[in-house]
Amino acid sequence: MEKLLNSLNKSDSIIHLIGIGGSGMYPLAQILHEKGYRLSGSDNNETDTLDAVRAMGITVHMGHNAQNVVGVDVIVRSAAIKDDNPEIVAARQSGIPVCERAELLGVITAQYDKAVCVCGTHGKTTVSSMLTYVFMHTQGDMADISAVIGGKLKILDGGSGRTGKSDVMICEACEYADTFLKLHPNVSVVLNIDEDHLEYFKTMDNLRLSFTKFCNLTTDVLVVNGDDENTMTAVTNSAFAGKVVTFGRGADNDYTPDCVSGITLKVPGEHNVLNAVATFATARTLGVPESAIASGLEAFTGAGRRFEILGTVNGITIADDYAHHPAEVTVTLKAAQSMGYKRVWAVHQPFTYSRTKRFLDEFAEALAIADKITLTEIMGGREVNHHEVSAADLQEQLAQKGAQCELFATFDEVCANVVENAHPSDLIITLGCGDVNKIAHMIIDKLNA
């Protein structure tokens, strides 16, 4: 991939990104655009992100079609884009090189002497974002970092990627389909390892093994959650022989919540205290002054779709969160319940049939923390429903726990029901990694009408 990029004439060659509006592709589009490459892209759904892509002068095709790749020189796809995608089929027939998003990101990380790669089942977007804020609040060259984040940040002008001139890059490293094994980390942050993506990994042993391999790729420092058994097993089983820095609540860790006790965080939840500790540990290891760490953490108001407060209308607060694992739903709703609202509404879109089936009881346990629960149908994503599961099964599981839950077939019905029944001082939070955030914006529009 590196040779391929170097062979391109930036003024004439075109790199085409399939799914250019996705959280993984968008920051790469920003970085490649800043580096002077000509780009095009395609996507299936109109979003604010696509508006931002077009504002950079990039051609965006709606829908995936063979005609979209006529005249392009390289195609970049994510692991979610299958071989039968019409643009991939056309590329193969035309001899257009096709590379994985992870390969491209790996080439980019290899260009930095301090590539800080943040991985873990939960929290990697938040910690990557916190680190971006911290470094950009330092003085001198170190502040001019590069970044690839899975959420949009105000400090990045509403984007999720940037190219800087320093030797520091902050990179969110996702374990799905082993994509993080394509990266070149100098510093790796391992936040936690929880049961997830088992439709790919099959077993927890395989999942831990992938994190062990990721540790083996690291050249300089591992910053790891010393309280997380799976994480420590992965580290212990690795061949990494460099410096290991631990963080966690336990007193035997190198960094504990005491290090952030004087810092006022603007993001709610006990889990974000631990995210701040991980950020503090990583930044100090890289020589960032404590004053800059404090300034960055106190300026951080959250990443897009991570307990993002979208607005308050008629006394009703509407928020959105990317939570799509029971552990994430749990910490998000516990944080919401601690904020003093009269009632907390959870509007949840289950994501993938395999995940819903595997965690049916765990999702019900987590969602039951809310006062009111509204479900949409399952978003299948990359899957076909071979699992004989539906959102009605989750509704039934919730009913068995005595929770109030309603299920609607369409977003319009969800929106109408919530708007009709929400009261002042309620918090409505949409939960899921699909397109459930559209409902949050629909609710705001309807309340404003």
Each residue's pLDDT tens digit, 46-94:
888 999 999 999 999 999 999 999 999 999 998 778 899 999 999 999 9
Length of the chain: 449
pLDDT in tens, 125-175: 999 999 999 999 998 888 999 999 999 999 999 999 999 999 999 999 999
Q: Which residue has the higher pLDDT, 372 or 79?
A: 372
Does the pLDDT at position 3 exceed 90? no
User: How far from the centroid of its chain's Cα atoms is residue 449's Cα?
Assistant: 32
Tokens representing 106 are 């790996």
Measure Cα distances from 236 to 208, 210, 233, 353 in Å. 11, 13, 5, 34
In this prediction, residue 23 carries a pLDDT of 86
pLDDT in tens, 100-136: 999 999 999 999 999 999 999 999 999 999 999 999 9
- The mean per-residue pLDDT over the stretch 192-221 comes to 96
- Confidence class for position 9, pLDDT limits 50, 70, 90: confident
Any bridge partners for residue 171, and if so which? 117, 148
In this prediction, residue 214 carries a pLDDT of 98
- The mean per-residue pLDDT over the stretch 330-342 comes to 97
- The mean per-residue pLDDT over the stretch 20-31 comes to 92
Pairing of strands 114-119, 146-148: unpaired
- The mean pLDDT of the chain is 95
pTM above 0.75, yes or no: yes
Three-state secondary structure string covering the chain: CHHHHHHCCCCCCEEEEECCCCCCHHHHHHHHHHCCCEEEEEECCCCHHHHHHHHCCCEEEECCCHHHHCCCCEEEECCCCCCCCHHHHHHHHHCCCEEEHHHHHHHHHCCCCEEEEEECCCCHHHHHHHHHHHHHCCCHHHHCCEEECCCCCHHHCCCCEECCCCCEEEEECCCHHHHHHHCCCCEEEECCCCCCCHHHHCCHHHHHHHHHHHHHHCCCEEEEECCCHHHHHHHHCCCCCCEEEEECCCCCCCECHHHHCCCCCCCCCHHHHHHHHHHHHHHHHCCCCHHHHHHHHHHCCCCCCCCEEEEEECCEEEEEECCCCHHHHHHHHHHHHCCCCCEEEEEECCECHHHHHHCHHHHHHHHCCCCEEEECCCECCCCCCCCCCCHHHHHHHHHHCCCCEEECCCHHHHHHHHHHHCCCCEEEEEECCCCCHHHHHHHHHHHHC
pLDDT in tens, 414-448: 999 999 999 999 999 999 999 999 999 999 999 99
- Confidence class for position 11, pLDDT limits 50, 70, 90: confident
- Confidence class for position 4, pLDDT limits 50, 70, 90: confident
Does the pLDDT at position 234 exceed 90? yes
